[in-house]
């Protein structure tokens, strides 16, 4: 909510005041210093999000701290921060998912996935066609190193997320 946006993590790069002001002006179509419901929909679409009228009303009620039915510049900044926080939360969930998957594959619990560990997981999933040479080829595709017979969590994540 708005309280979380106001406590936004200072370590996360934020849009500059100037850039936010420029964005605000883009969405404030009638240049009255307020962004209304229809303009909120445009803001959300620009951020890659779709919302129903009910969701927009809910968002307005969270962000519209002066209850005038529109978003002023300070409320707009909080809205942008809320969107950034949602992206950060999704990234955390994605990272956790990848880490859990990596840990499932990392039988030796040494922080690396080896050819035999990956092959074992393929067998567990019912794949008896894949051979060690195929796993080595996949590892080469991931690492760029033909001699490397293991991958790190960072390499695994890059392969999964790309």
Task: Examine the pLDDT at 161 and tell me if it is beyond 60.
Answer: yes
Residue environment code for 150-162, b if the CB has 16+ CB neighbours within 10 A, otherwise e: bbebebbbeeeee
Q: In the structure, what pLDDT confidence band is assigned to residue 51 with cuts at 50, 70 and 90?
A: confident
Per-residue pLDDT at 12 exceeds 70: no
Percent of the chain with pLDDT over 70: 91
User: Is the CB of residue 51 less than 8 Å from the CB of residue 44?
Assistant: yes
Kindly give, in sequence order, each residue whose CB lies less than 8 Å from that of residue 132, ignoring residues fewer than 6 positions away: 115, 116, 119
Q: How confident is the model at residue 15 (pLDDT cuts 50, 70, 90)?
A: low
pLDDT at 6: 38
Among candidate residues 71, 88, 90, the one with its CA nearest the CA of residue 23: 71
Mean pLDDT of 31-44: 85
The residues facing 152 across adjacent strands are 112
What is the rounded average pLDDT of the residues 63-87?
83
C-alpha 34/C-alpha 71 separation (Å) is: 5
The rounded distance, in Å, linking the Cα atoms of 152 and 111 is 6
Q: How confident is the model at residue 140 (pLDDT cuts 50, 70, 90)?
A: very high
5-19, 36-50, 58-72, 90-104 — most confident range: 90-104
Contact 5, 79 (CB under 8 A): yes
| Lowest-confidence segment of 4-18, 124-138, 144-158 by average pLDDT | 4-18
Question: Which is more confident, 61 or 11?
Answer: 61
């Amino acid at each position: 909510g708005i309280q979380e946006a106001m406590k936004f993590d200072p370590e996360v790069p934020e849009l500059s005041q100037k850039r936010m002001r420029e964005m605000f002006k883009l969405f404030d179509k009638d240049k009255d210093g307020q962004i209304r419901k229809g303009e909120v929909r445009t803001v959300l679409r620009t951020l890659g999000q779709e919302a129903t009228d009910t969701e927009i009303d809910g968002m307005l009620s969270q962000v519209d701290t002066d209850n005038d039915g529109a978003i002023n510049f300070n409320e707009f900044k909080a809205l942008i921060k809320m969107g950034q926080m949602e992206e950060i939360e999704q990234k955390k969930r994605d990272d956790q998912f990848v880490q859990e998957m990596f840990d499932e594959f990392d039988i030796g619990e040494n922080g690396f996935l080896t050819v035999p560990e990956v092959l074992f997981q393929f067998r567990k999933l019912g794949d008896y066609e894949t051979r060690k040479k195929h796993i080595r080829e996949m590892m080469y595709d991931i690492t760029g190193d033909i001699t490397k017979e293991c991958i790190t969590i960072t390499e695994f994540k890059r392969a999964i997320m790309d």
